[in-house]
Structure 1
Amino acid sequence: MYRSLCLFAVLVSSSAGAAPPDLADHHLNVLPRTQAETARIDAATARATDFTTPEAFEANQGGAATVRARSDADAFSQSSANISFEGELNFKLGNGLFRKLWVSSPSSTLASDGLGPLFNARSCQRCHLKDGRGHPPEASDDSRVSMFLRLSVPAAPQDEMTEIERYLAALDGQVDRTRPDPMLGGQLQDLALPGHAPEGQMHIDYEEIAVDLSGGDTVSLRRPTYRVAGPGYGALRHDLQLSPRVAPPMIGLGLIEAIPASDILRAEDPDDTDGDGISGRAQIVWSTEFDQPMLGRFGWKAGMPTVREQSAAAFSGDIGISTPLFPAAAGDCTQGQSACLDAPHGDGDARGTEIDSEGLDLVTFYSRNLAVPARRNPDDPQVLRGKQVFYETGCTACHTPKFVTHRLDDDSPQSFQLIWPYSDLLLHDMGDGLADDRPEGRANGREWRTPPLWGIGLTRQVNGHDYYLHDGRARSLLEAILWHGGEAEPAKARVVQMPPADRAALIEFLESL
């Protein structure tokens, strides 16, 4: 029931424009597509050419799993509309574990102990508030719970290559090699149990940059600079690489997981052989769950291959909770943090790890089935005009509107759905402005995964803010667009130069998603 919907395969490169072989479908309960189904899928996922009316089924962004768009803060917290009765029960159980507040060990609450000792949050819900988008700390609210810093350092020449580095080197001929910081690990943990020192505090300084738009409009962008204050484990390395991350929305993850890998890989064009300036490439990561390379789909740089592995990694790194996939009781603590390693933990004979396989499966099921809300006003003339501007500006070169998920031989709500994530799930060079200069797997310091756009117009309703991009620097959708560079520079330039009425329509279209 909780079987991974992911495709586990050794991915191979292919010539531009050719569909790469799908090597992993035989690992899933996948029914092969017939020739007639393939023709139907090609027709259903063809790009729009008529912008006078909505496309068929366009309002149902998550296919049959789509739920009615609520008008309150729970718009992202609904289960898939086509979920079974048994599935609804498991969804609620998973929600309980997602919201659970973990406590330190030893504790009388044996099912909830094991927090930290170093951590970023006490529950999944603390980062993904209302299953939505995180934010940088406000001046009036010093909370950083829904945002943290990824950490790494360049690998030393004598460091043995990891399995994924060997694979990527064979695939691409070159790979940027990094390691977690030897003292601080893979992310800055700014909270700690009593008796333990936090690793430090993230501080952000902003510089305002004015951008002039056509029609006499001006927008101010804020450029962030990040630093670590109050390091708790000695001086920071001079070559420490920092990458800020806000918690992304949770909706539609199971649908993204069910997109055939071949459909994603088909859009790769790393050498830009078609000359359109877009050079998307797939992230490839090593799966701890399946012990082999897999297509990365989740995270700001697509660093995780499955919802289950993403969930387990977050338990370990964010909360310090061990799982069957990441069984270290001390989470992200390193050999240099002996007090953390020696502290009491919540592993026990009854459940083995601090959250056991059944609990991890329930959280995974919950995360897979957080439903995508229906579109609002897709037939509004202004929204339709904005959709046309979105297409004509070139946004769909990366924000692929539609996919059809695998037909699965079970009762999965994600089976054979026409979905509208507006993402190709590939890595793209976004320019110097958004660069974090921190490689991750196949992604270099300028590359990011195209984020899905579904639900983006409900951000303020769900989370009470309008902060976007990987670090929340953008204070509006227009600011987010104006930060685009690299491969997206020509599209951004068109937005700057277009008539103000078209910019307004473009934003209205995005707010309808």
Structure 2
Amino acid sequence: MRNSTHRKWTKASKLALLAVAALAATQSMSAELQDLHLNTLPRTQDEEARIARVTAAPTDFSAPQRFEDLPAGAATVRARTDADAFSQPSGNLSFEQELDFKVGNGLFKKIWVSSPSSTLASDGLGPLYNARSCQRCHIKDGRGHTPNGPDDNAISMFLRVSIPGGDDFAEIEDYIATQPDPNYGGQMQDLALPGHAAEYRLDITYEDVPITLSDGETVTLRRPTYRAADLGYGPLHPDAMLSPRVAPQMIGLGLLEAIPVQDLLANADPEDEDGDGISGRPNIVWAIEYGTPMMGRFGHKAGMPTVMEQSAAAFAGDIGISNPLYPAAYGDCTPAQVECVDSPHGDGDDRVFESDQTGMDLVSFYSQNLGVPARRDVDDPQVLRGKQVFHDTGCASCHTPSFVTHRMEDRPEHSFQLIWPYTDLLLHDMGEGLADNRPEARATGREWRTPPLWGIGLTEQVSGHTQFLHDGRARNLLEAILWHGGEAQTARDTVVAMPKTDRDALIRFLESL
């Protein structure tokens, strides 16, 4: 487990976000933004040339590209045919690392209990929370799902909430100033310990939106409306902005974390200088752990820079568990929620926090090393045709197929791997149809991070459903494509107009990932 200095989230730390302005304004962000979470070795000119060759866009679609069947390089795992396909350790872990992985898996699945409790290593739940364990949101390490009915409490879905403004952010160029709701904080919790009221009940209604395709086939999309019902702590702020979030799949996170920031920024084109209609840009966020701005990589709007910080924030916001990066024992509760703040908590013993640094290291290691399953049917003629359609349609402009990770001595399992995640980890304007109208750091209310596509064809096998996008509104891959707008509008319209055989091939290709 690594030993690093951890910085707590304080108002003084927030003020340091003013440094983001200089980064956002410069044209050479790659010179300032660093991969501080990695101990990297520089690439040689020969390595740079080799990387350029192996990651170049394909020109021949008659056969698979070399190593395309190994989406995570040497870390790729066998594609299982059961629901545990996303729950395997990366294929290149050592015996000792597999032991750490298994201990981390135990902590990821651990059911937290309320305080005080005789189970001192597991107390501190809530008092307000969305789940009692990580696994209850990331079911089988895969995607969460939308409610199956009004009494479904295992939905792994919640609402983020914020309101405009905040003096700490007013002077930051290109940074959208928001702050938590004064009554409900930054996240709505739908569960609570006995004696406490839950914050809300998630109410969703859907409107049918018919779409006619080129051959006369009609696809009916469902447009959701979200409401925070049965509020337990007074009204929401009149300017409250709500954003639904479904838990994403967990595979390959350590490899995404190991992509050089310079390679990601090389795909950014915020002013669309090449005129292709794609204007991807990085989200730049304050890294609590390192006390400096870093590029966001994780979360639906790329609001978190590292797996560690993403894990720590989820412990605090989803379960109400304090940890070195988020030390508040009451999680996301606000000062207005007096009974929550004053209730018994599980910190203050030998661990200091409800989850100590050793525990967070193990959970992060587990999350970094969930293996990416091998591709299926890469040489199938329909899959190859779908791959060509994917590139010809422009999907690869955002869903960048491949990268080579940093060379690292202390993380050999992630070091110098050719990977195929099909993402650029950048923000893109996805149009009004998908807009949540809630900004996050530099992300506007219409922008979302390009989600990785590796493993997407195994969603039903792992999760028991085929719900996609940030809120699960799409019930299959075609619906997900048809919701694309903004920068992806041209690609979406091309899919609508293309022959059904090409659409079917495109879906078949995605299902092979």
TM range (shorter): over 0.9
Map 1:458-497 onto structure 2 (within 5 A): 458-497=458-497
1:151 alignment counterpart: 161
Q: How many angstroms apart in 2 are the aligned matches of 1:268 and 1:509? A: 26
- Tell me if 1:74 matches 2:81: no
* Shift, 1:66, TM fit: 0.3
* One-letter amino acid of the counterpart of residue 431, structure 1: G
Q: How many angstroms apart in 1 are the aligned matches of 2:283 and 2:195? A: 40
For the 8 Å contact 2:136–2:154, the answer to whether it is kept is: no
For the 8 Å contact 1:14–1:20, the answer to whether it is kept is: no
* Shift, 1:506, TM fit: 0.2
For the 8 Å contact 1:62–1:417, the answer to whether it is kept is: yes
CA 3–34 in structure 1, closer or farther in 2 if over 3 Å, else same = farther
Q: How many angstroms apart in 2 are the aligned matches of 1:411 and 1:281? A: 28
Deviations 1:402-453 (A, max 9, x none): 0000000124311100000100000000000000000100000000000000
- 2:211 partner SS: strand
1:314 alignment counterpart: 314
Q: TM-score, normalised by structure 2?
A: 0.94
Runs of 4+ in 1 over 3 A off after TM superposition: 1-4, 9-16, 25-28
Please provide the CA RMSD for this pair. 1.7
- 1:125 partner SS: coil
Q: How many angstroms apart in 1 are the aligned matches of 2:213 and 2:436? A: 26
For the 8 Å contact 2:35–2:294, the answer to whether it is kept is: no
- 2:31 partner SS: coil
CA 182–421 in structure 1, closer or farther in 2 if over 3 Å, else same = same
Map 1:123-134 onto structure 2 (within 5 A): 123-134=133-144
2:73 alignment counterpart: 63
2:186 alignment counterpart: 186
- Tell me if 1:117 matches 2:124: no
1:374 alignment counterpart: 374
Q: How many angstroms apart in 2 are the aligned matches of 1:431 and 1:349? A: 49
- 1:374 partner SS: coil
* Shift, 1:138, TM fit: 1.4
Deviations 1:213-232 (A, max 9, x none): 01111100000000011100
- Tell me if 1:262 matches 2:257: no
1:443 alignment counterpart: 443
Q: How many angstroms apart in 2 are the aligned matches of 1:101 and 1:219? A: 41
Q: How many angstroms apart in 1 are the aligned matches of 2:44 and 2:175? A: 39
Map 1:358-507 onto structure 2 (within 5 A): 358-507=358-507
For the 8 Å contact 1:307–1:367, the answer to whether it is kept is: yes
Give the percent of matched residue pairs that are identical in Structure 1 and Structure 2: 67
Deviations 1:277-323 (A, max 9, x none): 00000000001111110100000000000000000000000000000
Q: How many angstroms apart in 1 are the aligned matches of 2:36 and 2:240? A: 42
* Shift, 1:246, TM fit: 0.1
- 2:428 partner SS: strand
Work out the number of aligned pairs and report it.
Answer: 498
* One-letter amino acid of the counterpart of residue 51, structure 2: I
* Shift, 1:388, TM fit: 0.3
For the 8 Å contact 1:128–1:250, the answer to whether it is kept is: yes
For the 8 Å contact 1:22–1:261, the answer to whether it is kept is: no
1:304 alignment counterpart: 304
For the 8 Å contact 1:135–1:472, the answer to whether it is kept is: yes
Deviations 1:197-241 (A, max 9, x none): 111111000000100001111100000000011100112222110
1:351 alignment counterpart: 351
Deviations 1:312-363 (A, max 9, x none): 0000000000001101000000000000000000013311100100000000
Report which stretch shifted further, 24-33 or 245-254.
24-33
2:51 alignment counterpart: 41
Q: How many angstroms apart in 1 are the aligned matches of 2:3 and 2:402? A: 25
For the 8 Å contact 1:254–1:369, the answer to whether it is kept is: yes
2:341 alignment counterpart: 341
Deviations 1:1-56 (A, max 9, x none): 4368xxxx97846987x893265358742111011111100101101111000000
CA 424–94 in structure 1, closer or farther in 2 if over 3 Å, else same = same
- 1:113 partner SS: coil
For the 8 Å contact 1:149–1:187, the answer to whether it is kept is: yes
Map 1:286-305 onto structure 2 (within 5 A): 286-305=286-305
* One-letter amino acid of the counterpart of residue 451, structure 1: P
Q: How many angstroms apart in 2 are the aligned matches of 1:247 and 1:25? A: 25
* One-letter amino acid of the counterpart of residue 352, structure 2: G
* One-letter amino acid of the counterpart of residue 118, structure 1: L
For the 8 Å contact 1:287–1:305, the answer to whether it is kept is: yes
CA 319–213 in structure 1, closer or farther in 2 if over 3 Å, else same = same
* One-letter amino acid of the counterpart of residue 342, structure 2: D
Map 1:211-230 onto structure 2 (within 5 A): 211-230=211-230
What 5-or-longer segments of structure 1 have no aligned partner? none
Q: How many angstroms apart in 2 are the aligned matches of 1:40 and 1:312? A: 37
- 1:214 partner SS: coil
- 1:153 partner SS: strand
* One-letter amino acid of the counterpart of residue 56, structure 1: R
- 2:225 partner SS: strand
CA 117–26 in structure 1, closer or farther in 2 if over 3 Å, else same = closer
Q: TM-score, normalised by structure 1?
A: 0.94
Q: How many angstroms apart in 1 are the aligned matches of 2:84 and 2:38? A: 33
CA 236–19 in structure 1, closer or farther in 2 if over 3 Å, else same = closer
Q: How many angstroms apart in 1 are the aligned matches of 2:192 and 2:341? A: 13
- Tell me if 1:31 matches 2:38: no
2:232 alignment counterpart: 232
Q: How many angstroms apart in 2 are the aligned matches of 1:27 and 1:78? A: 24
For the 8 Å contact 1:22–1:262, the answer to whether it is kept is: no
* Shift, 1:98, TM fit: 0.2
Deviations 1:62-89 (A, max 9, x none): 1100000000000000001000111000
Q: How many angstroms apart in 2 are the aligned matches of 1:411 and 1:138? A: 41
For the 8 Å contact 2:146–2:156, the answer to whether it is kept is: yes
Q: How many angstroms apart in 2 are the aligned matches of 1:26 and 1:309? A: 13
Q: How many angstroms apart in 2 are the aligned matches of 1:411 and 1:309? A: 18
What 5-or-longer segments of structure 2 have no aligned partner? 5-18
Q: How many angstroms apart in 1 are the aligned matches of 2:36 and 2:243? A: 37
